[in-house]
């Protein structure tokens, strides 16, 4: 199970100071298009990267950007990568190299997903080489995305996934931007990892390290409200051959309310400190549901997002987001993908203005 399950089942001034006993130096800069005022908050880490996709894994949530992405040319894909780097993002996590068994790159082992760009994976990786972005490449989905347990456990899928990873590494491994892999069948903390998930991660890591020994690999578990920092969980972390765990904050899907993730991340940070294994990152959600608990994803309020960033900052090395596409667009971009109401442009402008205010 992973974030896609919550997409189907889940709900829904400047950021305030969260950590008791700490103060922040503040210098104000006005937000031109709204009249709001942002403050310099040095203890808030900026967003370092985003999830990325060629088509959204659940079509009923990506109707406002999927059609545009389908028609993107190689030039537009490259322009989008350039713009993402301009906003300060240094990492991208490709959600998948295939969707329901069809690939997003020319493949000898599976049929290709029909996009106007013949090889979008080559387009984005070559652009990322120039921009200095590091990509984690997702290694699924080789069957129905709703069948997470099957995708983790089925022997046939494991063989197909390994063969595809070999193909992708052979075709694209020369790109400096190919930083590592993302294993997208995500864990649900209950409050511990299912042993089948640990086996899945270690099997994927074995293949990844065989193909690319220097690969830095990432997972993004969810349901953090069930977390534990006890010896059993620490022991599970110690047994997982993974470099980075970017926990989903669950605010966009309504699994957690704003104000809650800080204590969960504090406990997870404590567990990682004890395990001395994987680095802990955050995966904050930039969206809300158009129909309250389901449907299309729309850009959230900037103040909610800043609060999310503030909550996790003391406990993580870096903050990633879900996601730039559909939720942010640079004004005047030739690679626009999002709702026609331009709220994604507004969020881009607001976040950039906050980011610029931190440099004052």
- pLDDT bin (cut points 50, 70, 90) of residue 10 is very low
Residue 3 has pLDDT above 90, yes or no: no
Residue (of 169, 157, 242) closest to 210 by Cα position? 169
Residue 336 has pLDDT above 60, yes or no: yes
Res 24: pLDDT: 29
**Mean pLDDT throughout 33-49?**
75
Enumerate the β-bridge partners of residue 97.
none
Residue 71 has pLDDT above 90, yes or no: yes
Average pLDDT taken over every residue of the chain: 90
> Which pair of tokens denotes residue 18?
């969260």
Max CA pair span of the chain: 59
Q: Do you find a cis peptide bond into 258, omega within 30 degrees of 0?
A: no
Res 34: pLDDT: 44
- pLDDT bin (cut points 50, 70, 90) of residue 202 is very high
pLDDT higher for 93 or 187?
93
Res 14: pLDDT: 32
The Cα-based distances of 143 to 156, 198, 207, 218, 356 in angstroms read 11, 20, 19, 21, 43
Task: Quickly name the fold that domain 3-357 has.
Answer: TIM Barrel (3.20.20)
Residue 179 has pLDDT above 70, yes or no: yes
Whether the Cβ atoms of residue 168 and residue 97 lie closer than 8 Å to each other: yes
Residue 180: φ, ψ to 5°: 180, -165
The percentage of the chain sitting over the pLDDT mark of 70, rounded to a whole number, equals 89
Res 1: pLDDT: 35
Stated pTM of the model: 0.90
Residue 139: φ, ψ to 5°: -110, 20
Residue 356 has pLDDT above 90, yes or no: yes
pLDDT in tens, 207-247: 999 999 999 999 999 999 999 999 999 999 999 999 999 99
pLDDT in tens, 266-291: 999 999 999 999 999 999 999 999 99
Res 43: pLDDT: 86
CA distance 227 to 190: 8
The percentage of the chain sitting over the pLDDT mark of 90, rounded to a whole number, equals 86
Res 168: pLDDT: 98
Lowest mean pLDDT among 24-38, 92-106, 294-308: 24-38
CA distance 93 to 145: 17
CA distance 73 to 99: 20
CA distance 131 to 226: 38
Whether the Cβ atoms of residue 323 and residue 50 lie closer than 8 Å to each other: yes
> Which pair of tokens denotes residue 353?
């203005």
Res 41: pLDDT: 76
Residue (of 50, 48, 37, 93) closest to 302 by Cα position? 37
- Burial degree of 28 (CB within 10 A; 0-12, 13-18, 19+): exposed
Residue 131 has pLDDT above 50, yes or no: yes
Residue 265 has pLDDT above 50, yes or no: yes
Res 143: pLDDT: 95
Res 123: pLDDT: 98
């Amino acid at each position: 199970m992973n974030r896609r399950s919550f997409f189907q089942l889940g709900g829904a001034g400047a950021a305030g100071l969260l950590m008791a006993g700490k103060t922040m130096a503040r210098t104000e800069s006005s937000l031109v298009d709204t009249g709001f005022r942002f403050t310099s908050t040095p203890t808030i880490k900026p967003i370092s990267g985003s999830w990325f996709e060629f088509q959204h894994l659940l079509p009923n949530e990506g109707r406002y950007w999927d059609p545009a992405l389908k028609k993107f040319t190689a030039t537009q894909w490259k322009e989008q990568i350039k713009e993402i780097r301009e906003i300060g993002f240094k990492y991208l996590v490709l959600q998948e190299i295939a969707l329901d068994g069809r690939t997003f790159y020319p493949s000898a082992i599976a049929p290709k997903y029909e996009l106007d760009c013949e090889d979008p994976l080559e387009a984005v990786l070559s652009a990322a080489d120039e921009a200095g972005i590091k990509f984690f490449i997702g290694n699924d989905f080789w069957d129905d995305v709703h069948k997470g347990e099957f995708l983790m456990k089925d022997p046939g899928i494991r063989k197909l996934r390994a063969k595809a990873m070999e193909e992708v590494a052979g075709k694209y491994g020369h790109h400096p931007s190919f930083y590592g892999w993302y294993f997208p069948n995500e864990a649900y903390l209950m409050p511990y990892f299912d042993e089948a998930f640990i086996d899945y991660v270690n099997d994927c890591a074995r293949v990844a390290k065989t193909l690319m020994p220097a690969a830095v690999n990432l997972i993004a578990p969810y349901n953090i409200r069930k977390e534990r920092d006890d010896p059993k969980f620490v022991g599970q972390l110690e047994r997982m051959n993974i470099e980075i765990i970017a926990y989903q904050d669950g605010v966009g899907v309504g699994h957690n309310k704003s104000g809650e993730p800080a204590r969960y991340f504090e406990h997870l940070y404590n567990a990682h400190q004890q395990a001395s294994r994987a680095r802990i990152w955050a995966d904050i959600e930039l969206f809300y549901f158009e129909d309250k608990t389901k449907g299309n994803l729309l850009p959230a309020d900037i103040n909610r997002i800043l609060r999310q960033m503030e909550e996790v900052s003391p406990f993580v090395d870096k903050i990633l987001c879900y996601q730039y596409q559909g939720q942010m667009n640079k004004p005047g971009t030739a690679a626009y993908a999002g709702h026609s109401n331009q709220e994604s442009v507004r969020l881009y402008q607001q976040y950039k203005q906050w980011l610029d205010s931190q440099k004052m």
